Copies of this chain bind each other. A is one copy, B any other.
């Protein structure tokens, strides 16, 4: 991706355009409520269920916006990324819908289930060694030989504008929210939320929720500059990546606070949500609820939107079951 694009800061007009562009390819996901969790927290919680989204996660919003915004000439060469998570699935899905190739560079050691899922959505996998240098070298080769357009998982204005459509729906579905909370990894969803709500509902406070064991965004927020960790480890495996310049812009300007939760608190909140709300969601999505439960005074009496970001879980390895 070129530098000039990377520096472009998307506007709310970009969100509106993205929403129109991606509407035929995504679900307008439902908002669920739970009287059990309302009693437990003392807040009114509105769960925006992106686990029911196409390809199983909100990432499909940004991926579709990037893919369907390409001119025909560029699109023909396809798109490429080196995520092995939901972004890879989503980009494969989006490219498949447009009928163009999607190249995904993944470590050869990635779980077979993840490779199968990417291929299931039509993605073309090129394997690399499990190191940053190998990944970058292989990715450069793939890009050079295919001319495919790089779509970064989050540090991309097209992706952030796409993610911003989620809180645009939420704001229509639940008017009068006091706050919205979303998990933060690289910051794509939080940035999209900031972009949208700062424009259409500037009174809504935006909170980000992060695992204590991968709290680089929390420390960045307190320090006032990006701190990137090398290889944080957490059960919330979607949240290991660091902020980048574009997401830092939104986080530093619009987020009210970043709250953190321990691994056990995340696992407990995840299991409790499955038990009481009967939805399958990733550990990452449980981080907001875990932080609400330990910071009840912040949210009590408030109408709070909670973004459930995705549902692509390895059902053979649930974190509360010892194998």
Chain A residues with CB under 8 Å of chain B are 30, 32, 51-52, 56, 271, 274-275, 277-281, 311, 315-316, 318, 320-321, 323
Residues of B within 8 A of A278 (CB): 51-52, 56, 279-281, 311
- What would be 6 A-B contacts, judged by CB atoms less than 8 Å apart? A274-B280, A278-B281, A279-B279, A280-B280, A316-B320, A321-B321
A59–B318 alpha-carbon span in the complex (Å): 29
User: Is there an interface contact between B30 and A275, defined as CB atoms closer than 8 Å?
Assistant: no
A280–B32 alpha-carbon span in the complex (Å): 14
Main DSSP-derived SS at the A contact region = loop
Q: Nearest-CB distance from A39 to chain B (Å)?
A: 12
A323–B316 alpha-carbon span in the complex (Å): 11
A99–B116 alpha-carbon span in the complex (Å): 53
The list of the 4 closest CB pairs from A to B, nearest first, reads: A278-B311, A278-B280, A51-B278, A274-B280
Residues of B within 8 A of A321 (CB): 316, 318, 321, 323
A311–B278 alpha-carbon span in the complex (Å): 6
Who on chain B is nearest to A34 by CB?
B52
A11–B162 alpha-carbon span in the complex (Å): 52
Residues of B within 8 A of A281 (CB): 278
Residues of B within 8 A of A275 (CB): 280, 315
A89–B21 alpha-carbon span in the complex (Å): 46
Q: Nearest-CB distance from A285 to chain B (Å)?
A: 11
Cβ-defined partner of A279 (8 Å) among B271, B280, B318: B280
Who on chain B is nearest to A35 by CB?
B54
A316–B321 alpha-carbon span in the complex (Å): 6
Residues of B within 8 A of A56 (CB): 278
Name, among A52, A278, A315, the residue most crowded by chain B CB atoms within 10 Å (CB to CB).
A278
A275–B323 alpha-carbon span in the complex (Å): 20
Who on chain B is nearest to A120 by CB?
B36
A231–B214 alpha-carbon span in the complex (Å): 51
Given A274-B280, A278-B279: 8 more A-B contacts, CB < 8 Å: A52-B278, A56-B278, A279-B279, A279-B280, A315-B320, A316-B321, A318-B318, A321-B321
Cβ-defined partner of A30 (8 Å) among B30, B280, B311, B320: B30
Who on chain B is nearest to A36 by CB?
B120
Q: Nearest-CB distance from A25 to chain B (Å)?
A: 12
Name, among A30, A277, A279, the residue most crowded by chain B CB atoms within 10 Å (CB to CB).
A279
Who on chain B is nearest to A272 by CB?
B315
A32–B279 alpha-carbon span in the complex (Å): 13
Name, among A32, A271, A311, A323, the residue most crowded by chain B CB atoms within 10 Å (CB to CB).
A311
A201–B30 alpha-carbon span in the complex (Å): 29
